[in-house]
Chain A
Amino acid sequence: MLVFIVRRLINSVFVMLAVAMLAFLIFQMAGDPVEMMANEQTSQADRAAMRERLGLNDSLPTQYVRFVANAARGDFGISYRNGQDVLHLIGQRFPATFELVMVATLISLVAGIPLGVLTAIQRGRWYAEGLQFVSIVGVSLPSFVVGILLILVFSVILGWLPAFGRGDVVKIGWWSTGLLTPSGRQALILPAVSLSLYQITLIMRLVRAEMLEVLRSDYVKFARARGITRARIYFRHALRNCLMPVVTMTAMNVGALIAFAIITETVFQWPGMGMLFIQAVTFIDIPVMAAYLCIISFMFVVLNMLVDIAYAVIDPRLRAA
């Protein structure tokens, strides 16, 4: 078991190094940060000096090795765009994204599972088929359109919810939370709904497919023959057997949402990591981009490793691999 974990760890280090290498190759094509930082009055000489100080004249391997050496010590430098410590900057944005993604996931489970069950057991009824059709719309609508529509209806026409921002936040240590204030909770609703819409349809379709499968199985028929109530069969016996893939998929998607809630965050001016990243890209803020990509890949690597270890614990056959 120990050998297995060590081997996985070594693999992960190589994955991280490869991600950093790819990131650096991309930065070479992204543009020239000095041109973004200098203003109209900066002279050619000052621009050259700035480029030299930032180490942008060094060869790609030199820059890469320097970055890896610094990153290994947890030093990602300061942002080109706003002069803030990069790790601190990402730490500041993480709670906003995390809360958004968690609430969105919760909404998608709470709404998606019952809808999936409903469309499965009422198959053929007009409203179940209608829901199926609506769910296609949910999957195919781009998330910025959903976001703008929600803002238009709930902020502009009805005036119920704020159109942007995170409301008031409460600081608990380094973590900032919007869940403890009324304005923070209100501000969370629209972006979370907008982010969860796609997930809801995904979960609903997954649950429906699994349910249809399970409802055909022998033990359901047997339970029915014993005269157990329908509600008990559906929700206690059948649904439970459908949830494994749902849980796996949800867990995988949480990581993806944290990394790429970019569009929702931009539409709602949600001060999370996605917005930080997209702004870093438009400004060629190399320290932020590099740190962000490394931290995200680290997150995925750890998640994957945990899953692998869990599988290995469950299934002894995998340990040899």
Chain B
Amino acid sequence: MLKQLGLAATLALSLVLPGHAATLKWGASHDIFSLDPYSYGDSFTLAFLNHVYEGLVRYDANLKIEPALATSWETVSDTVWRFHLRKGVKFHNGADFNADDVLASLKRVSDPVSPLRGNLPAYKSSTKVDDYTVDIELTGPYPLLLNDLTNIHIFDATWLKDNDSEKPTDVGAKIEGYATYHTNGTGPFMLESRVPDSKTVLVKNPNWWDKSQSNIDRIEFTPIVSAATRVSALLSGEVNFTDNAPSQDLPRLSAQPGLKVMERTDLRTIMIGFNRKPKLDNGDDNKFNDLRVRQAFAHALDHKLIQQRIMRGKSRTAGEIVAPEIPGYSADLDTPLSYDPDLSKKLLAEAGATDMPFTMVCTTDAYVNEEELCQGIVNMLSRAGFKPQLDIAPVALQAPKRTGGKADVYLIGWATEPMLDAYSILVQMIETRSANAGVFNWGGWSYPDIDKLIVAASTEMDRTKRLALETKALGMVKDQIIMLPLHQQPMAWVMSDKIDKIAQLPDNKVRSWLTHISE
């Protein structure tokens, strides 16, 4: 009797305990570029590799920074940060994690040929205080170090040394890197196998230091480039999850029994930029330098129509160039200028810019529904007295036109990855172009007043003051219509309805250690 009771209790317990083996069959829209997290810093690749590798800190389910491989930190001086490392963490090969690993990783990522060094802009050097304490010295006071460190994954120093990978893989040197094919991280999943463009298999790391909220013990990651095939694979059950479902197939997918669709808007804000050089690409005087012409442009856009027709009601109309989740955002700035084509015509006439021909440069493979979007915008502009011409092609072809200042008007999206702070767009897109700022200032504008605010924010250690500076700069961007925001674009995940817990954050990154599959 007692024995039977015991058996029953065990049975009941095993039903309650989340110990079931489950496989996530993940069909993605493209493959990761490399297993080496210090390759191109593509957000998708980094997010995938975060299953295997971890940083000193990470974002939690609310995109707030929380401890990961570091348990705590403090600033020793304006330019020196001290990190206390987690004890008892083991790499997948069994090696202990300690300060040497952090030093070796930081050295590798900040190497002059490292493609990822831009992700750690203020880094100067690091020193070991003891086995579990590291000091990081910066080139100056810099408030966003923690944000940057979320995406700097930590390698094992001995493993790097043994495999001759202490320096990053340099495409220019034409030599393959060991870390391109092999991994050794501390993360919740371990690499089992990888065949590029076919399949990458991860298995659960039973010795992960953190308590996993997931019962997934195997991830089969398969890139399926063709969207129609990806949808078919979901319908036939060959994959049970995708983080990129084409929007036109969502009604069909949500009607399918056994599947569920999860939609929300992304952090990525789609916006329009203007060439601000004295001449347009066709040699005419550039009237976009007149604020009234940019205002006319803004009043020509019917945001309601764009949201409902072109984006099928899935986007979030934006009046500001950062999404609400991004620090620095202010709701006061988040209203677009009214739709008023007659006002546009009036403003254009005042500026003497009626019928000014110009080219709008758009891409075909970067953003959601961008072809329809650009076509729609061109039609709206024509109705409001502009004379736009659409130039639409893949990113590879358009990139040189945009960076070379040959695009009179262009579309660009910005998610503030990887720092998730308004400073990202201010320094990279709004600030005057120089060696270390304004890479995406394709129009070539310069606003010294705004630059001063951005520089001040870059060294302001008080968060409230810093965000106030950033918000002020964003307000000036809005007043001057340097960039004209359109919307935050939608994202759609489709999965088997057996997945009963999943974290879908607006950064559109899959975190399988937070995913639970029933049965």
Chain A interface residues toward B at CB < 8 A? 30-32, 35-47, 49-50, 53-55, 75, 77-85, 88-89, 92, 144, 147-148, 151-152, 155-156, 159, 162-166, 169, 266-269, 271, 275-276, 279, 281-284
| Residue among B238, B398, B419 with most chain A CB within 10 A | B238
Cross-interface CB contact of A83 among B176, B237, B417, cutoff 8 Å: B176
Cross-interface CB contact of B229 among A31, A37, A45, A164, cutoff 8 Å: A164
Q: Determine if B171 and A80 form an interchain contact, defined as CB atoms under 8 angstroms apart.
A: yes
Q: Determine if A40 and B399 form an interchain contact, defined as CB atoms under 8 angstroms apart.
A: no
B31-49 interface bits toward A, Cβ cutoff 8 Å, 1 = contact, 0 = none? 0011010011111000000
Q: Determine if B439 and A43 form an interchain contact, defined as CB atoms under 8 angstroms apart.
A: yes
In the bound assembly, the distance between CA atoms of A282 and B466 in angstroms comes to 40
In the bound assembly, the distance between CA atoms of A155 and B121 in angstroms comes to 49
Q: Determine if A35 and B170 form an interchain contact, defined as CB atoms under 8 angstroms apart.
A: no
Q: Determine if A269 and B169 form an interchain contact, defined as CB atoms under 8 angstroms apart.
A: no
Contact residues in B for A163 (Cβ distance below 8 Å): 229, 232-233, 236, 238
Q: Determine if B118 and A46 form an interchain contact, defined as CB atoms under 8 angstroms apart.
A: yes
Chain B interface residues toward A at CB < 8 A? 33-34, 36, 39-43, 112-113, 115-119, 121, 169-177, 180-181, 195-199, 222-226, 228-229, 232-233, 235-238, 365, 394-400, 403, 414, 417-419, 424, 428, 433-440
Cross-interface CB contact of A32 among B40, B176, B365, B399, cutoff 8 Å: B399
In the bound assembly, the distance between CA atoms of A276 and B226 in angstroms comes to 14
In the bound assembly, the distance between CA atoms of A276 and B232 in angstroms comes to 22
Q: Determine if B232 and A162 form an interchain contact, defined as CB atoms under 8 angstroms apart.
A: no
Q: Determine if A283 and B396 form an interchain contact, defined as CB atoms under 8 angstroms apart.
A: yes
Contact residues in B for A159 (Cβ distance below 8 Å): 236-237
Other 19 A-B pairs with CB < 8 A, given A85-B176, A156-B232: A39-B42, A39-B118, A44-B436, A44-B439, A45-B435, A49-B112, A78-B171, A88-B176, A89-B196, A148-B232, A151-B229, A155-B236, A156-B236, A159-B237, A164-B233, A164-B238, A267-B226, A279-B197, A281-B396
Cross-interface CB contact of A166 among B113, B175, B181, B198, cutoff 8 Å: B198
Minimum C-beta distance from A168 to chain B (A): 10
Q: How many A-B residue pairs have CB under 8 A?
A: 177
Known: A30-B396, A32-B400. A40 touches B433 (CB 8 A): no
Minimum C-beta distance from B225 to chain A (A): 6
Contact residues in B for A282 (Cβ distance below 8 Å): 365, 394-396
Cross-interface CB contact of B171 among A41, A47, A75, A83, cutoff 8 Å: A83
- List of 3 A-B pairs having minimum Cβ-Cβ separation, nearest first: A53-B172, A41-B118, A39-B41
Contact residues in A for B229 (Cβ distance below 8 Å): 147-148, 151, 163-164, 267-269
Q: Determine if B399 and A31 form an interchain contact, defined as CB atoms under 8 angstroms apart.
A: yes
Minimum C-beta distance from B516 to chain A (A): 26
Known: A46-B117, A54-B172, A269-B223. A41 touches B418 (CB 8 A): yes
Contact residues in A for B228 (Cβ distance below 8 Å): 148, 151, 267
Minimum C-beta distance from B258 to chain A (A): 13
Q: Determine if A165 and B439 form an interchain contact, defined as CB atoms under 8 angstroms apart.
A: no
Minimum C-beta distance from A80 to chain B (A): 6
> Nearest chain-A residue to B32 (Cβ)?
A82
In the bound assembly, the distance between CA atoms of A169 and B199 in angstroms comes to 12
Q: Determine if B117 and A83 form an interchain contact, defined as CB atoms under 8 angstroms apart.
A: no
> Nearest chain-A residue to B233 (Cβ)?
A163
Contact residues in A for B197 (Cβ distance below 8 Å): 269, 271, 275-276, 279
Q: Determine if B196 and A36 form an interchain contact, defined as CB atoms under 8 angstroms apart.
A: no
Contact residues in B for A148 (Cβ distance below 8 Å): 228-229, 232
> Nearest chain-A residue to B438 (Cβ)?
A44
Contact residues in A for B419 (Cβ distance below 8 Å): 41
Contact residues in B for A54 (Cβ distance below 8 Å): 171-172
Known: A83-B39, A271-B195. A40 touches B180 (CB 8 A): no
Question: What would be 24 A-B contacts, judged by CB atoms less than 8 Å apart?
Answer: A39-B40, A39-B41, A39-B43, A40-B440, A42-B118, A43-B439, A50-B172, A53-B113, A53-B171, A54-B172, A83-B34, A83-B169, A84-B176, A148-B232, A156-B235, A162-B238, A163-B232, A164-B222, A164-B224, A164-B233, A269-B198, A269-B225, A275-B225, A276-B197
In the bound assembly, the distance between CA atoms of A39 and B394 in angstroms comes to 17
Contact residues in B for A31 (Cβ distance below 8 Å): 396-400
In the bound assembly, the distance between CA atoms of A83 and B173 in angstroms comes to 11
Q: Determine if A55 and B172 form an interchain contact, defined as CB atoms under 8 angstroms apart.
A: yes
> Nearest chain-A residue to B394 (Cβ)?
A282
Contact residues in B for A284 (Cβ distance below 8 Å): 396
Contact residues in A for B181 (Cβ distance below 8 Å): 84
| Residue among B36, B172, B176 with most chain A CB within 10 A | B172
Contact residues in A for B33 (Cβ distance below 8 Å): 81-83
Minimum C-beta distance from B177 to chain A (A): 6
Contact residues in B for A80 (Cβ distance below 8 Å): 171
| Residue among B43, B197, B403 with most chain A CB within 10 A | B197
| Residue among B116, B223, B226, B235 with most chain A CB within 10 A | B226
